[in-house]
Amino acid sequence: MTPKEMLAKLVSFNTESQRSNLDLIHFCRDYLASLGVESRLAPSPDGQKANLYATIGPRRDGGIVLSGHTDVVPVAGQDWTSDPWTLTERDGKLYGRGACDMKGFDALALALVPEMLAAPLERPIHIALSYDEEVGCLGARVMIASMQQEGLKPSAVIVGEPSMMKVVTGHKGGLRMRTAIRGHAVHSSRIDVGVSAVMVAGELIHWHNTTMAENKARTPAGNGFEPPYSTLHVGVVQGGTAVNIAAEHCTFAHEVRCIPGELQEAYAERYRAKLAEVEAGMKAVAPETGIALEITSSTPAMGPETDGAAEALCRRLTGDNGRHVVAYGTEGGLFQGAGWSTVVCGPGDIAQAHQPDEFIAVEQLEAGERFVRGLIADLSR
């Protein structure tokens, strides 16, 4: 199968994150088995989804992980010119949901397995395909734990998210949260004996502003990020029923985007401390009031490494010596957290990801093919 044929096959599976990816995973497992390559599946807790990883070449330390996710974002509400689940070529572009983000890279890794086997490789290539990247990098955590348990010790990880084959060494981490406040409803004329959930939310939202202002003041520029500091944001607020009633309920959805070196857990801890202080004041007025915090996702940042093996390898293969950090999150921080040198480098432009009429340029897929061929040559001597 050519990379284009493989991409058409992978796109034909509807693997929106809310659906099972098992049909696609079983296809990959059977395809690899037909080439004599054994796969390991690392299932999700409910068994509806699975990661797949497979080793090509000798079973020894070192070698490379080619990492891709199998899930895609939904097409609902988007206006597509052609069927999103049928790869369609028009004017040098291959259209389909996931063509760019990131079944293109998955297809390259799979389609070139016969060449990896024929090389033959001196050091292994591990293909690692995850589930649920788009909804908080859930699958990669399970897969990395399984790979570590098996004792795999790759010398570098290449996360093939679309970067136009540039070598990306950093991105911010992400912490998403939801705060639900229960107040004590009274007529607003007697707010002295009530607790307005909306007004409590206001105080907590303000904490986001002051924390971000502190970050801005103390973080030096020049780390490549725009803006260079960790940002906080509240995106949705819901609460209250009338202007003259102290609101009983208010909820809001919020996030922190952390620069490398800052931990999202630390922000969660600081926020919890603020909640405890505010909650104590609420309970002093009415004991049934309270605040509940839900962490909806937490994905670590990926930071530039000192003398990183993955960076050196990808710079050698692509000739890219520029400095690139990106605004989107990836599974890279999780691989790095496992102690494995990691960069993001893959075909396609992130501008096309998640869009209606998502596409990957044929020329990008070909650039990715040359890159993987170069990698095979590199690992064969």
The residues binding Zn ion (CB under 5 A) are 101-102, 161
Kindly report the backbone phi and psi dihedral angles of residue 339, in degrees, each rounded to the nearest multiple of 5, phi listed first: 95, 15
Residue with smaller CB distance to Zn ion, 101 or 311: 101
Q: Are 225 and 217 in contact (CB under 8 A)?
A: no
Q: Select the residue whose beta carbon is closest to Zn ion and give its number.
A: 101
Q: Is there a catalytic annotation at residue 320?
A: no
* CA separation for the pair 211, 173 (Å, rounded): 17
* CA separation for the pair 268, 272 (Å, rounded): 6
- Rounded least distance, CB 67 to Zn ion, Å: 11
According to DSSP, the residues that pair with 324 across neighbouring strands are 168
Which is the catalytic residue, given 71, 101, 311, 358? 71
> Of 351, 215, 370, 195, which is closest to residue 279 (Cα–Cα)?
195
Sheet holding 125-130, edge to edge: 39-43, 50-56, 125-130, 64-69, 156-159, 342-344, 168-171, 324-326
Residue with smaller CB distance to Zn ion, 101 or 357: 101
Structure tokens at 310: 């993955």
CA 133 to chain centre: 5
Residue with smaller CB distance to Zn ion, 65 or 246: 65
Which is the catalytic residue, given 101, 106, 132, 133? 133
Q: Is there a catalytic annotation at residue 71?
A: yes
Structure tokens at 306: 């000192």
* CA separation for the pair 335, 308 (Å, rounded): 13
Residue with smaller CB distance to Zn ion, 255 or 331: 331
- Rounded least distance, CB 96 to Zn ion, Å: 14
- Rounded least distance, CB 69 to Zn ion, Å: 6
Residue with smaller CB distance to Zn ion, 102 or 247: 102
- Rounded least distance, CB 211 to Zn ion, Å: 29
Catalytic residues: 71, 133
